[in-house]
Structures are given as structure tokens and as C-alpha cells.
Amino acid sequence: MNKLTVSPSPHIKSSQTTEKIMWAVVISLIPAGIAGVYIFGISSLNVIALSILSCIFTEALFLRLRNKELKAVLDGSAILTGLLLAYNLPPETPFWIPIAGGMVSIALGKQIFGGLGQNIFNPALVGRAFLQISWPVYMTAWKTPRWWPDAISSATPLSKEAGAHFNYMDLFLGNRPGSLGEICVIALLIGAIFLLVTKIISLHIPLSYIGTVGIITWVFGKEGFFKGDFIFNILAGGIILGAFFMATDYVTSPLTKKGRIVFGIGCGILTAVIRLRGGYPEGVCYSILFMNAAVPIIDRFTKTKKYGIIKK
């Protein structure tokens, strides 16, 4: 008879690994990328490729400097950061914009805090915020879909100078100027459903985030009290991409369900306030970064009760 196995806990292990999760998110983002390249033309593929390559090279450099195994480059996290960064960029930029963004994302957003799992802020959004502040001209030169008559336009549906009215179907399918990966809502939703079905993300953050933005823009919208166009506000801009793929990042979002709902509502309030009253037309990037900073305190106040403890 075999002896009983003696080992320290945990005894039951999930088959889920960091690599599997990262690659699943990468796969779920592919439909939106295909849609973006189809809408803006093949040149936007350059942005995606340069961004990913820059992230991988920076990651490898830092792993080397920190005497870690180079194999960790392929855990998918650097590729995911590069992909998300590219989706947040205008579809046509000077070649060095995605390269600089990738370097900042990995170096200043992730590795300087200690690498995977240690970063406070979402690396891709750190890169985007840096680019937005440093080179605002290039970061707001929006290309229009390739079948539109004029090639470069400076107005996304959310900016105040956007004259044309966009109908909901155009916004849903992505027939509008905007960032590379944020425009095609249907493609993003396909990816999001895949992540929900495989239980990689839960609905708490996206629902509370999108719901809060919807309610605030409905009540306080431009069109009048309780008359705001909330469907437009949800479909235009980067909320779908931000809520499903970036606010749900494991490292930079709260641990508990209650905390996640608080986090989503906070992101929603900030996004809506920046859009309605702020200087920028879009606030998804900054609102998620802001709430990332609040995650430790949210976690502290939403601790779950220990099993068996009676509340006095």
C-alpha cells in the first residue's frame, strides 16, 4: 500500500495560469483589431505591430537587467499591454509614437514597480496618458474610416467641434473616427462575451462602470435635465474597451465583488464628469488611472468577513 502524501496547502490547484489568462485576453481582443484594420486600412497594422514589438523588447531588456529568466517575455502580458496600447492610439501616427508608448508602458508603468503583478497602474493606460500629454497634436489627429471622402479629421464624435451627427448603428459598427481599437463596439462585445463565458472577467466592473456613465449622462446630459443621450455616450468613445478590457485588469482592480462595484462606479462618475465638464472630450483613460490609485483603499474597506466570525 502506498503511503499517504504529505504536502503543504493548497491541495487543490486550478488549471488556470497567468499565461492562459493573458493569451485568452489577447485572443478576445483580436476581433476588435481586425475591425480596426478593416475600417482604417492596412496602415493601422503598423501601429499594432510596432506597439507590441516595442513592449516585448522593453520587457526583455528589463528582465535581462533584473537577472530574470527571459522566458517570461512570452507569458503574454507584454503582448497584451502592447495590444491594448495600440488600441488606444489613433490609427495613423508617426512610427515612433507607438514605440515610445510601448517603452513608457513597460518601463514606467510596470517594470519600475517590480514587474508583473506589482504595478499600481494599468501599464497600457500609463503609456497612453504619457503620449497624450507629450504629443497632443499627434494623439488627436483622428483618421476617418477609409471609405469617407476626407482623409484626416480632428473630431471624434465626443469632441465639441464634431459637427456631423452619428446614428447609433454607425457607432455600434464603428463607422466613425476614433482610436484604433475602440470604435467597433460589436467586435469588442464578441471578445467580452468570450471572456465572460470562460469566466476570466466578471460583470461587476463593466456593468457598474457603463451603468454609472449611462445614468449620469442621462440625468445631466447636454440636452437637458433627464434628457441626455446616454446611448450615444456609451457607444461613442472608449468606454466599452475600457470597461471590459482595461478596468478589469486583475493586477489593478479590487479583489472582492463589492470592491469591484465601487471601483466601477468610481470610474463611471469620473468618466462622465470629465466628459461633461472637463477640458478633454474623453475621460476613460484618466478615470481608470485615478481609480487604480484608489484600489488599495477600496480593498481595505471591502474586506470579506472571516468564515465563522460573528459580527458584534
- Cell representation of residue 103: 517603452
CA–centroid distance for 138 within its chain = 20
For residue 171, which amino acid is it?
L
Q: Which is nearer to other proteins, 94 or 296 (CB)?
A: 94
Interaction of residue 108 with other proteins, rule CB under 8 A: yes
The packing angle between helices 96-109 and 123-134, to 10°, is 130
Give percent helix, percent strand, percent coil of the chain, each to the nearest 5.
Answer: 60, 0, 40
d(CA 46, CA 65): 28
Q: Could you say whether residue 197 binds other proteins (CB under 8 A)?
A: no
**130 near other proteins, rule: CB under 8 A:** yes
Q: Taking CB under 8 A as the rule, which mask of x and - marks residues 213-252 in contact with other proteins? A: ----------------------------------------
Q: What is the DSSP string of 1-31?
A: -PPPP--PSP-S--S--HHHHHHHHHHHHHH
Look at phi and psi of residue 219 and say left if phi exceeds 0, alpha if psi is from -120 to 50, else beta.
alpha
Regarding 53 and contact with other proteins (CB under 8 A), the answer is no
Q: Which CB, 17 or 134, lies closer to other proteins?
A: 134
Name the minimum Å distance from CB 41 to other proteins.
Answer: 24
Q: Count other Cβ atoms within 10 Å, centred on residue 33.
A: 21
| Residue 4 interacts with other proteins (CB under 8 A): yes or no | no
Q: Which is nearer to other proteins, 118 or 134 (CB)?
A: 134
CA nearest neighbour of 164 among 189, 193, 134, 144: 144
Residue 67 in contact with other proteins, rule: CB under 8 A: no
> Which one of 117-125, 131-139, 235-243, 268-276 is the stretch in contact with other proteins (CB under 8 A)?
131-139
* Residue 279 engages other proteins in binding (rule: CB under 8 A): no
Q: By CB under 8 A, which span of 126-134, 148-156, 240-248, 297-305 interacts with other proteins?
A: 126-134
If binding is defined by CB under 8 A, does position 112 make contact with other proteins?
A: yes
What residues make contact with other proteins under the rule CB under 8 A?
94, 96, 108, 112, 130, 133-136
